[in-house]
Every structure is written in structure tokens, then in C-alpha cells.
């Protein structure tokens, strides 16, 4: 069965609501309009306004309402239109959802899923295009996932909904139109484990979300130059699957991290520190990273492209680490 990433997310939500009467979707324009990125298109007509709830334009308000619903036994899916707007709900997510289990001594749980679009590449300018995944991955009490394939978009949600604690799902805007064949017999997946998307012996490339297709393309280019890249798709940003990363780097002895976040304080920096802590004596070369330029994401396409990690930059970084520049 061939689905787009957008269709896979929609099917995942439809299935969840059909299976479990506690599951509902809420957010700005998710109902009658069908979602800013058309992920929930048609679901309101099919499932009704009790299950697909349009909310006022108040991220703090409707994320707080989702936390309240989770506390009394519901399984809400809250859609925040873009990660930039989620900053208006940081108090609810970081100070409430992430802390209530700890502050109640384990008496309360918040089984909440927050979905949000992230990333750049569609000329949506600086207030709609940033990558703040590392901000949320910094917070104890949250799980943070970034499905990068249609298969993961289809099957990660059910696992997230079964989790007793809040899960943040980052959907890269550049992936919504991508399509893949997926198996009919899939099911819930472990949202705490990375996946090795390509085998290789010369260097490990670590990435996630919208940077995976670019990293895979760079690996293909490098294969034509006789360089074998092992590509790791993190899938989970909190917790990080440190064991999978360490096993790969211990074998290849070199690594490049590709991260659409800004370089300063980036998730890439955390991954590099983890590699050094776990496998410094295995390394044969300094680590490298390819990140977004330290600027607000520009609107003009040529400047947006220049700011973001691209295939050519990944290829260049790999060749430099290998001493082939």
C-alpha cells in the first residue's frame, strides 16, 4: 500500500480513534478546515465534532485543556500548528505535563500526545520554520520522537498513545508529501529505538526527521565515490538510543551528525558529546556536524536553501572527516 507521510498520519489517527473511544484530536483548524497541512482532512465529517475539536487561537489554552483531559483518563492528541507557536504553550508542556508525575509522587500521569510541524524548506519564513526539537529533548518527563519515514508516521502514534507520560511528535513539513510503500501487517513500534537505515563500514551518519532523506541521498553519492556510510535514523530524541549510536561508531570509527537545528546548543552537540563519552578511544578522526546556519530562517528560496543542511554539505563534511577533501 502506497501512502504519503500526511496520509499515514491521518490513517494512524483514524485508527486510534476507531479503536479507543478515549482518543480525540484537538487544535487550531483541525476540524472543518482539515488541518493547516491537511493531515486531518475529512476526519471531522467522518468522526464528528466530539472527536475532532477545533480550538480557539490559544496554544496555552488548548494544550492545557489537553493536559486536563489526560489527567482524567482521556487520550488526547493535541495538534500545534507549528513548533514556533508551541513556544506559547511552553509553560503547559514543560511546567505541567512534564512534571506532574514527579510532583505528585507518581499519583498522576499525563498520557498526552502533542503533534507539531517543524522544520524549514517550504518558504514559510522565520516564524513558521525553525527546529526546536532539542529544546523539548532537554526536558525530563517528556518523550520526544521524530518519525522520518512513512512507515514510522503510520505506526508510531499508537505506541505514543499507549504511553502513560507525555509524548511530543515532531512532523517535518518537508516530509508531508513524500510517499512510500508500506506493509499491510504493520503495528506499534518501539518509540525509544533508533533504526539503521543503511549499512556501511567507513563512517556513521547520525540524523533524524526531515534530514534523513538528504542524508540518505548523500550516502548514495558517497557510495559512488567508494565510501560506505552507515546511516542511523534516531527516531527518538528523548530518550536517545545511545547503544545503537555507540555500536555503529565503534565499528566505523568516524561520525558526522546532520541536524537541522542551529549549531549552538544543538542536538548534534549532545550526540557528539555522547559519542565521545562512550567511544572516544575508538575514534580515528574528529567528529563533525552539519547544521543550519545561525540565522532566522530566510523567506527567499535561495537563502533558505543556503541556510539549511544540504546534500552537498553533508558529502563535503564526510570527505573532510575521511581526509579526502
- C-alpha to C-alpha distance for 130 and 128, rounded to whole angstroms: 6
Averaged pLDDT score across all residues of the chain: 96
Same-domain check for residues 110 and 41: yes
Same-domain check for residues 174 and 273: no
For residue 81, tell me if it sits in a domain: yes
Residue 136: give the domain boundaries. Answer: 2-181
pLDDT for 226-285, tens place per residue? 999 999 999 999 999 999 999 999 999 999 999 999 999 999 999 999 999 999 999 999
Confidence at residue 180, expressed as pLDDT on a 0 to 100 scale: 92
Same-domain check for residues 160 and 201: no
Q: Which residues are catalytic?
A: 59, 128
Q: Report CA torsion sign: 262, 264, 267, 271.
A: positive
Confidence at residue 321, expressed as pLDDT on a 0 to 100 scale: 98
Enter the C-alpha cell of residue 25: 484530536
Q: Which are the contacts of 30, defined by CB distance < 8 A and separation ≥ 6?
A: 40, 43, 44, 52, 53, 54, 55, 79
pLDDT for residue 92 is more than 80: yes
Mean pLDDT score, 12-31: 97
For 306-321, letters b (16+ CB in 10 Å) and e give ebbbbbebbbbbbbeb
Same-domain check for residues 39 and 93: yes
Q: Report CA torsion sign: 159, 128, 211, 256.
A: negative
- On whether the CB atoms of residues 287 and 257 are closer than 8 A, the answer is yes
- C-alpha to C-alpha distance for 45 and 34, rounded to whole angstroms: 10
Q: Report CA torsion sign: 40, 44, 45, 51.
A: positive
Same-domain check for residues 27 and 136: yes
- C-alpha to C-alpha distance for 12 and 120, rounded to whole angstroms: 24
Burial class of residue 87, CB neighbours in 10 A (0-12, 13-18, 19+): middle
Closest by CA position to 36, among listed 105, 128, 164: 128
Burial class of residue 94, CB neighbours in 10 A (0-12, 13-18, 19+): middle
Confidence at residue 6, expressed as pLDDT on a 0 to 100 scale: 97
Enter the C-alpha cell of residue 318: 564526510
For residue 209, tell me if it sits in a domain: yes
The enclosing domain of 244 has a CATH number of: 3.40.50.920
For residue 187, tell me if it sits in a domain: no
Domain boundary among 181, 215, 248: 181
Domain boundary among 157, 181, 205: 181
How many other CB atoms sit within 10 Å of the CB of residue 1? 13
Confidence at residue 184, expressed as pLDDT on a 0 to 100 scale: 75
Confidence at residue 183, expressed as pLDDT on a 0 to 100 scale: 79
Q: How many structural domains is the chain composed of?
A: 2
pLDDT for 179-233, tens place per residue? 998 877 778 889 999 999 999 999 999 999 999 999 999 999 999 999 999 999 9
pTM listed for this prediction: 0.96
pLDDT for residue 315 is more than 90: yes
Mean pLDDT score, 77-97: 97
Confidence at residue 186, expressed as pLDDT on a 0 to 100 scale: 76
Confidence at residue 301, expressed as pLDDT on a 0 to 100 scale: 95
For residue 186, tell me if it sits in a domain: no
The enclosing domain of 173 has a CATH number of: 3.40.50.970
For residue 189, tell me if it sits in a domain: no
Same-domain check for residues 161 and 84: yes
For residue 212, tell me if it sits in a domain: yes
pLDDT for 101-119, tens place per residue? 999 999 999 999 999 999 9
Q: How many residues does the chain have?
A: 325
Same-domain check for residues 103 and 223: no
323 pLDDT tier (thresholds 50, 70, 90):
very high
Same-domain check for residues 157 and 220: no
Same-domain check for residues 17 and 165: yes
Same-domain check for residues 214 and 152: no
Same-domain check for residues 124 and 79: yes
pLDDT for residue 325 is more than 80: no
Same-domain check for residues 215 and 81: no
Return the percentage of the chain with pLDDT > 70, whole number.
100
For residue 268, tell me if it sits in a domain: yes
Amino acid at each position: 500500500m502506497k501512502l504519503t507521510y500526511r496520509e499515514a498520519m491521518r490513517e494512524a489517527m483514524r485508527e486510534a480513534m476507531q479503536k479507543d473511544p478515549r482518543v480525540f484530536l484537538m487544535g487550531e483548524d483541525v476540524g472543518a478546515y482539515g488541518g493547516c497541512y491537511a493531515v486531518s482532512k475529512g476526519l471531522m465529517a467522518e468522526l464528528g465534532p466530539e472527536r475532532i475539536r477545533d480550538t480557539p487561537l490559544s496554544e496555552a489554552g488548548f494544550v492545557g485543556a489537553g493536559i486536563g483531559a489526560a489527567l482524567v483518563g482521556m487520550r488526547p492528541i493535541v495538534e500545534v500548528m507549528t513548533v514556533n507557536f508551541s513556544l506559547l504553550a511552553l509553560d503547559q508542556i514543560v511546567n505541567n505535563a512534564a512534571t506532574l508525575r514527579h510532583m505528585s509522587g507518581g499519583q498522576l500521569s499525563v498520557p498526552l500526545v502533542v503533534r507539531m510541524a517543524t522544520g524549514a524548506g517550504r518558504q514559510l519564513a522565520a516564524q513558521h520554520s525553525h527546529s526546536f526539537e532539542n529544546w523539548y529533548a532537554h526536558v525530563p518527563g517528556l518523550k520526544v520522537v521524530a518519525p522520518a519515514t512513512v512507515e514510522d508516521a503510520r505506526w508510531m502514534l499508537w505506541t505514543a498513545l499507549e504511553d502513560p507520560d507525555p509524548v511530543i511528535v515532531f512532523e517535518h513539513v518537508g516530509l508531508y508529501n513524500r510517499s512510500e510503500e508500506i506493509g499491510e501487517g504493520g503495528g506499534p513500534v518501539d518509540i525509544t529505538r533508533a533504526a539503521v537505515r543503511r549499512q556501511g563500514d567507513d563512517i556513521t551518519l547520525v540524523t533524524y526527521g526531515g534530514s534523513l532523506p538528504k542524508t540518505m541521498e548523500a550516502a548514495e553519492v558517497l557510495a559512488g565515490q567508494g565510501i560506505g556510510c552507515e546511516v542511523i535514523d534516531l527516531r527518538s530524541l528523548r530518550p536517545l538510543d545511545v547503544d545503537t549510536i555507540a555500536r555503529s561508531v565503534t565499528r566505523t570509527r568516524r561520525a558526522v551528525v546532520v541536524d537541522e537545528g542551529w549549531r549552538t546548543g544543538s542536538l548534534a552537540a549532545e550526540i557528539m558529546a555522547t559519542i565521545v563519552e562512550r567511544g572516544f578511544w575508538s575514534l580515528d578522526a574528529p567528529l563533525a556536524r552539519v547544521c543550519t546556519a545561525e540565522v532566522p530562517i530566510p523567506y527567499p528560496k535561495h537563502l533558505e536553501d543556503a541556510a539549511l543542511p544540504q546534500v552537498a554539505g553533508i558529502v563535503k563534511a564526510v570527505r573532510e572527516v575521511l581526509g579526502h577533501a
